[in-house]
Structure 1
Amino acid sequence: MGYRVVDCDEVETVEDRPCEMRRLSAAAGLEHVAINRFRAAPGEQVPLAYHYHEEQEEAFYVLSGTLFVETPAETYEVPAGDLFAVDPNSPQRAYNPADATEPVELLAVGAPAVSGDAVAYDPEDAAE
């Protein structure tokens, strides 16, 4: 059996990200699920780019604020306490709009914990 408590504020932030990101999986010793905590100020994007995952399912649980998620079909507003789920091969871009009055904080959970399955998506290319 194995158990761990992780002080998320003690986990280092990831450099070169458009918002504050802390990778919690490694700190918790988890290998099969990716868990990241994000804090995005108004005007900040959560992922590096509009993208989709080939294998990974993703879920964003909003801790505070409102998360906006742009998809090819519509933009979703996800308030605190709600969960936004994304199937593989489903393009999305999560962000906190510039006119927001507060930061958005969320946990992003992805499984399986694969590396390199994120594919950049350009909505303009898809429209052609």
Structure 2
Amino acid sequence: MGYRIVDLDTVSPSDGRPCEMRALGTAAELSNVAINRFRAEPGEQLPLAYHYHEEQEEAFYVLSGTLSVETPEGTYEIEADGLFAVDPESPQRAYNPDDADEDVVVLAIGAPAVDGDAVAYDPE
């Protein structure tokens, strides 16, 4: 058996991200699921690029603010306490619009926790 408690304040933000991202799954030493907490100011996006995952399912649970998610089918707006689920091979770009009144805080969960399955997507 194994148990771990992760205090958000002890997890440093990841470098090189377009917004604040804290890798909670890594801090908890989880191997089958990725859990990241994002805080995006107005005008910031969560991912490094518009993309899709080859294997990973993703779920974005909005803790506060409103998250916008651009897809080839249109843009979705998810308010606090809303969940947006993304199937593998479904392009998306999650962001906080430039004209937002506040930061958006999101808990992102992905499974399986795989490296290198994110593929850049060009909406053009």
If the TM-score is normalised by the length of the shorter chain, which range does it land in? over 0.9
1:2 aligns with 2:6: no
For 2:39, the equivalent position in structure 1 comes to: 39
Task: Give the number of equivalent residue pairs.
Answer: 124
TM-score, structure 2 normalization: 0.98
For 1:64, the equivalent position in structure 2 comes to: 64
Distance 1:118 1:69 in 2: 16
Which 5+ residue runs of structure 1 have no aligned equivalent?
none
For 1:82, the equivalent position in structure 2 comes to: 82
For 1:17, the equivalent position in structure 2 comes to: 17
| Percent of pairs with identical residues | 75
SS of 2:9's partner is helix
Which 5+ residue runs of structure 2 have no aligned equivalent?
none
1:50 Cα deviation (Å)? Answer: 0.2
For 1:100, the equivalent position in structure 2 comes to: 100
SS of 2:2's partner is coil
**Two-structure CA RMSD over aligned residues (Å):** 0.6
Deviation digits for residues 62-93 of structure 1, max 9, x if unmatched?
00000000000110000000100000000000
SS of 1:25's partner is helix
1:4 Cα deviation (Å)? Answer: 1.2
Instruction: Name the aligned partner's letter for residue 10 of structure 2.
Output: E
1:8 Cα deviation (Å)? Answer: 1.1
